[in-house]
Amino acid sequence: MTQSRESENRSARPFPTARPSGCPFDPPAPFAEAREECPVTPLRYPDGHLGRLVTGLQSARAVLGDVRFSSLPAGKRSPVKVPGSELSTDALPAGMFVNMDPPEHTRYRRLLSKHFTLRRVRELRPRIQEMTDRLLDNTESSGGPVDLVEAFAKPLPMLVTSELLGLPEEDRAPFGHHVDVLFSLSSSGEEMQQSMVLLAGMLHALINAARKEPGPDILGRLTVETELTDEELLGITTVLLIAGLETTTHMLALGTYALLRHPEQLAALRADWSLMDDAVEELLRYLSVVQIGPIRVAAEDFEFEGQSIRKGEVVTVSLPAANRDPQGFEDPDTFDIRRGTTRHVAFGSGPHQCMGHHLARLELSIGYESLLRRFPRLELAVPAQDIGTREMMVTYGVPKLPVRW
């Protein structure tokens, strides 16, 4: 439906972030209202910019697959003020391929994809199982209760990523600290800037070390097999870190929480572990932890699904909303590990779709299953209403998950 500019201006909503009270797994209610009107609706950005919000599954796929909706940083803005969103993007290192369009984007993606193919990722299974078991040994011997975020959901993706990048053991703690600061609600802009600089310094040192003595890890192989510059490698490793740590951590913790809050589903899974892959897909769909963006900027004026898109308009896709679209999923607000659908967009869509999705799925399925098998009586150690949520962060989740067994 075509609306006049004025009526779009009048009807533009702000981007909602508040989760319905008592339903920490449901997206903010205004998304469903917007989607009922139209899968693409006017959106008001914090600085007054009039852009668009995408809440429908098919529209989300169409926007993310259409290169006229550009990924270049120029003009991009966040639909909400989140920590770090005010930081300048002018000085992004080369190689930040998430902020590129084809064909530049394609060049980087082709160089990296070989390390994330289904075959390569499946070879990692025994190592990831080993790391998981060791973490659970430590957790179990502590006797509990523990905060599952700190004890398990943070360290597992960190161990996996460290191994992929060849990060030495002694660097992992400071590395983890800086990543924490970058992704914490309580960090100031100044602290974030400082951690960004220190993290870049550590990554530079890592790249230098890989050039001198290339290991079998991804970074080592990139230094040997490609012509990528140090600056490009810095951008690439930064992207791999940002993409691989936070998302997996919060899927592990929030996913465990969701299972604990749906005891009949958890019992079904415990009774039949062959449901694990379907359970992972349903958790990805139902929780959709990437809650702000992907964000695109219209590169030209064009017609899209009957609407006049103007050059420079900022378009924000809501993955949680798209994954609850009744046009795409029957009874979309019901959590059902037997749903057996993989049509969700939890990893995005289009040329920028998460490159690490096979790895994420593997970490999640090993993580959930090993945790639940190790602790047959796993339960919350505090009342559910005491579990907080991360509403004003790019990645949704729980800041703490106290559990006992």
Partner 1 sequence: MRIETDKDLCCGAGTCVLAAPAVFDQNDEDGTVILLDAAPGAEQRAAVMEAAERCPTAAIRIV
Residues that bind partner 1 (CB under 8 A): 64-65, 106, 109-111, 113-114, 116-119, 342-343, 348-355, 357-358
Instruction: Between 61 and 324, name the residue whose CB sits nearer to partner 1.
Output: 61
Instruction: Between 202 and 276, name the residue whose CB sits nearer to partner 1.
Output: 276
Distance, CA of 322 to CA of 171 (rounded, Å): 39
Q: What tokens appear for 166 in the block?
A: 């060849």
Distance, CA of 14 to CA of 46 (rounded, Å): 8
Name the minimum Å distance from CB 118 to partner 1: 5
From 185, 215, 181, select the one nearest 195 (Cα to Cα): 181
Name the minimum Å distance from CB 122 to partner 1: 10
Instruction: Between 46 and 102, name the residue whose CB sits nearer to partner 1.
Output: 102
Instruction: Between 65 and 201, name the residue whose CB sits nearer to partner 1.
Output: 65
Name the minimum Å distance from CB 111 to partner 1: 7
Name the minimum Å distance from CB 350 to partner 1: 6
Contacts of 26 (CB under 8 A, 6+ apart): 19, 20, 324, 333
Distance, CA of 87 to CA of 81 (rounded, Å): 11
Strand blocks (E) in 115-227: 146-147
Contacts of 271 (CB under 8 A, 6+ apart): none
Name the minimum Å distance from CB 295 to partner 1: 17
C-alpha distances out from residue 214 to 29, 114, 209, Å: 50, 17, 7
Name the minimum Å distance from CB 237 to partner 1: 18
Name the minimum Å distance from CB 313 to partner 1: 23
Distance, CA of 206 to CA of 275 (rounded, Å): 40
Name the minimum Å distance from CB 218 to partner 1: 13
144: alpha, beta or left, given left = phi > 0 and alpha = psi -120 to 50? left
Contacts of 54 (CB under 8 A, 6+ apart): 39, 40, 60, 63, 315, 316, 317, 318, 321, 322
Name the minimum Å distance from CB 97 to partner 1: 11
Instruction: Between 35 and 105, name the residue whose CB sits nearer to partner 1.
Output: 105
Instruction: Between 360 and 378, name the residue whose CB sits nearer to partner 1.
Output: 360
Instruction: Between 77 and 339, name the residue whose CB sits nearer to partner 1.
Output: 339
Distance, CA of 23 to CA of 124 (rounded, Å): 36
Instruction: Between 233 and 398, name the residue whose CB sits nearer to partner 1.
Output: 233
Tell me how long the chain is. 405
Instruction: Between 125 and 311, name the residue whose CB sits nearer to partner 1.
Output: 125
Contacts of 150 (CB under 8 A, 6+ apart): 400
DSSP string, 15-84: PP-PPPTT-TTSPPTHHHHHHHH-SEEEEE-TTS-EEEEE-SHHHHHHHHT-TTEE--STT---SS--TT
From 401, 402, 321, select the one nearest 19 (Cα to Cα): 321
